[in-house]
């Protein structure tokens, strides 16, 4: 992996909770980029006075930002690193091979880029935030990890296409406001928003110790209920991915930081309908007070990052991918 200085390092990063007023339809790429959390979300969270969890955040998003929308947040998968407080009991859904929602082939509702190809999955990287720690250009890693999911498994049935971002596409996020024009719709099936400040994770997710998060959206009917496919799966509309730039990232395990490939491959698995898989075993050493973490079986989709390389597809990753995609485009 090549270390590069961000070509956009001159951009000023502003974090606030104020709504923006967007009037221009085009954006000068040289202008400053800001991140803003919409007032409607922060006000709802403040009024509810509930501790932020995936369940309460899902409710907050759906009752504020998406209250009048035909899509809703269905799953929020936050990827954390194991720490001294981790126990087996802290990890739920250890054998959720696939998510309850599925991308539906031929679904004209999600032709977000208007290319007419409804049997592929389109993803886009928000280039201004595609650099980790101002050092690592993540876009080549994004491409490599999606290629791995597409080509390295038992089932090679779906094409995962990259769209190249330009500012005319507008806001890549349905949750955050980057001061860019927005139609209120996604710009691709999957939006890799990129490496965001830890303060955004704290404000939205209630924690700074999250490495990455994937928000999965589904289409809903007039009653707000998820629309089901002919096979009984919820009709997936969009997935949005964030990574936490508050961590020290590294090119590989043992390089003094969090392995980029392992975390990116994991989060991309969620965008492709995979859940967490594997049992965490914790061994405590009484003399040293240290803990050793072991996953069985070893897979990219293990629920916690334990400092080991997961930049490969394990047997269960491949099998679960086939469960989700083996019959594509007939599922």
**Confidence (pTM):** 0.87
Please, are residues 41 and 22 in contact by the beta-carbon 8 Å criterion? no
What is the model's pLDDT at position 49? Answer: 81
Name the band, by pLDDT with cuts 50, 70 and 90, for residue 84.
low
State yes or no: pLDDT of 328 exceeds 70.
Answer: yes
Mean pLDDT of all residues in 36-51: 89
Structure tokens at 281: 């075993």
Structure tokens at 114: 């208007």
Which residue(s) pair with 225 in the sheet? none
The rounded mean pLDDT for the chain is 86
Name the band, by pLDDT with cuts 50, 70 and 90, for residue 1.
very low
State yes or no: pLDDT of 68 exceeds 50.
Answer: yes
Mean pLDDT of all residues in 184-189: 96
- Contact partners, residue 170, CB within 8 Å, separation at least 6: 27, 180, 181, 182, 183, 187
State yes or no: pLDDT of 290 exceeds 90.
Answer: no
Which of 60-69, 79-88, 153-162 has the lowest average pLDDT?
Answer: 79-88
Decide which of 11 and 193 is more confident.
Answer: 193
State yes or no: pLDDT of 57 exceeds 90.
Answer: yes
State yes or no: pLDDT of 4 exceeds 60.
Answer: no
pLDDT digits (tens, 9 = 90+) for 141-186: 999 999 999 999 999 999 999 999 999 999 999 999 999 999 899 9
CA distances from 266 to 176, 274, 303 (A): 22, 9, 9
Span between the terminal Cα atoms of the chain, in Å: 36
Mean pLDDT of all residues in 47-52: 85
Structure tokens at 211: 């490495």
What is the model's pLDDT at position 318? Answer: 96
State yes or no: pLDDT of 104 exceeds 50.
Answer: yes
- Stretch (H or E) spanning 282: strand 279-284
My answer on whether omega of the bond before 297 falls inside 30° of 0, hence cis, is: yes
Which residue(s) pair with 296 in the sheet? 279
- DSSP string for residues in 121-144: EEEEE-GGG-EETTTEE-HHHHHH
What is the model's pLDDT at position 256? Answer: 83
pLDDT digits (tens, 9 = 90+) for 232-286: 899 999 999 999 999 999 988 877 899 999 999 999 999 999 999 888 877 777 7
What is the model's pLDDT at position 86? Answer: 64
State yes or no: pLDDT of 315 exceeds 50.
Answer: yes
The closest of 179, 129, 139, 183 to 163, measured between CA atoms, is 139
What is the model's pLDDT at position 262? Answer: 97
Please, are residues 110 and 237 in contact by the beta-carbon 8 Å criterion? yes
State yes or no: pLDDT of 15 exceeds 70.
Answer: no
Q: How far apart are CA 254 and CA 69, in angstroms?
A: 44
What is the model's pLDDT at position 287? Answer: 75
| Integer Rg of the chain from CA | 19
What is the model's pLDDT at position 164? Answer: 97
The residue extents of the domains of the chain are 15-325
- Contact partners, residue 241, CB within 8 Å, separation at least 6: 190, 191, 192, 193, 212, 213, 214, 215, 267, 268, 270, 271
Q: What is the CATH number of domain 15-325?
A: 3.40.390.10
What is the model's pLDDT at position 295? Answer: 86
| Percentage of residues of the chain with pLDDT beyond 90 | 65
Question: Residue 128 has what DSSP assignment?
Answer: G
């Amino acid at each position: 992996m090549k270390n590069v200085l961000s070509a956009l390092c001159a951009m000023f990063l502003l974090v606030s909770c104020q709504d923006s007023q967007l009037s221009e339809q085009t954006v000068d790429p040289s202008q400053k980029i800001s991140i803003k959390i919409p007032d409607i979300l922060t006000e709802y969270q403040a009024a509810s006075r509930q501790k932020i969890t995936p369940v309460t955040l899902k409710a907050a998003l759906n009752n504020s930002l998406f209250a009048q929308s035909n899509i809703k947040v269905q799953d929020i998968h936050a990827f954390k690193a194991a720490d001294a407080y981790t126990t087996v009991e802290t990890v739920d859904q250890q054998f959720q091979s696939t998510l309850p929602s599925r991308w539906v082939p031929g679904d004209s509702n999600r032709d977000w880029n208007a290319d007419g190809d409804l049997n592929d999955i389109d993803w886009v990287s928000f280039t201004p935030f595609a650099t980790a720690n101002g050092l690592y250009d993540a876009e080549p890693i994004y491409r490599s990890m999606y290629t791995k999911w597409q080509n390295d498994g038992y089932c090679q049935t779906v094409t995962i296409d990259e769209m190249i971002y330009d500012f005319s596409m507008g806001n890549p996020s349905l949750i955050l406001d980057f001061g860019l024009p927005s139609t209120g719709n996604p710009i691709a099936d999957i939006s890799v928003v990129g490496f965001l400040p830890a303060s955004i994770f704290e404000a939205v997710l209630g924690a700074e110790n999250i490495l990455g998060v994937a928000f999965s959206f589904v289409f809903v009917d007039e009653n707000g209920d998820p629309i089901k496919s002919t096979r009984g799966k919820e009709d997936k509309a969009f997935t949005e991915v964030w990574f936490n730039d508050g961590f020290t990232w590294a090119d590989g395990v043992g390089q003094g930081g969090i392995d980029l490939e392992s975390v990116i491959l994991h989060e991309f698995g969620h965008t492709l309908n995979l859940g967490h898989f594997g049992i965490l075993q914790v061994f405590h050493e009484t003399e040293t007070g240290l803990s050793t973490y072991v996953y069985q079986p070893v897979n990219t989709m293990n629920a916690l990052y334990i400092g080991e390389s997961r930049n490969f597809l394990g047997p269960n990753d491949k099998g679960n991918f086939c469960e989700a995609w083996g019959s594509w485009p007939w599922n």
